[in-house]
Structure 1
């Protein structure tokens, strides 16, 4: 299998990013997949909808699995990630664009807060 130049760039970016930068990339990717799924709903592309929602759910599951539950903030994020996963399942099975939009809103707030925290630490 031949690696495309844009794939090589992405692989290098992931391999050289800090854990904080990787988290930011996961938030952004999840938002992108949910928005793509919403477009697929509007186009009646149900296979594309499902594929993109599953990708978003996989990211949420990855974020959830990396939490250190010794910290209170991790327990709060755990509840939030579980809620977002429920929203994504609802959006996927019931074609609920509002549930998807709510998830995008939550993820955007998390991403922006995470980005600001990273700037503060530099």
Structure 2
């Protein structure tokens, strides 16, 4: 079953616009944090740390993809936010504080909400007419 899911995910990634890829990464980070929270509650420390590490890797990937030259202040603010989220998640690995997981979840949901609100003309989706091109201030394409 997992094999079919992986094929579906690979296909979606191959066909996704840069905008959709960022959405998928944000969703992936939220998923890993949710699984990690369940692991904390069950005392499954090894599994918890594995999922936190995945979430941190996803967030760091978003951070590395920022175009600070084109994105300016917005990209720098996102960089700072992603850095903060990563540090908070690493703290969870140390002290198992569920409030920190909830805080990072809330922050990611805010970013995702803003990302989801980007108009179709800016997203660069293949199925959406785009007069503005695939970027918005240099960050819509990167994160």
Q: Which residue number in structure 2 is paired with residue 90 of structure 1?
A: 91
More helix by share: 1
Q: Structure 1: which 4+ aligned runs deviate by more than 6 Å?
A: none
Length, aligned pairs only: 120
Aligned residue runs from structure 1 range 29-108, under 5 A: 29-70=28-69, 71-108=72-109
The Cα offsets for residues 15-68 of structure 1, whole Å up to 9 and x where unpaired, read as 110000000000011011011101000001111100000000000110010011
Q: For the pair shown, which has the larger CA radius of gyration, 1 or 2?
A: 2
Q: Which residue number in structure 1 is paired with residue 113 of structure 2?
A: 112
Of structures 1 and 2, the one scoring higher in RCO (CA 8 A, sep 6+) is: 2
TM-score normalised to the size of structure 1?
0.93
Q: What 5-or-longer segments of structure 1 have no aligned partner?
A: none
Q: What 5-or-longer segments of structure 2 have no aligned partner?
A: 123-127, 129-143
TM-score normalised to the size of structure 2?
0.80
Alpha-carbon separation, structure 1, partners of 2:120 and 2:35: 29
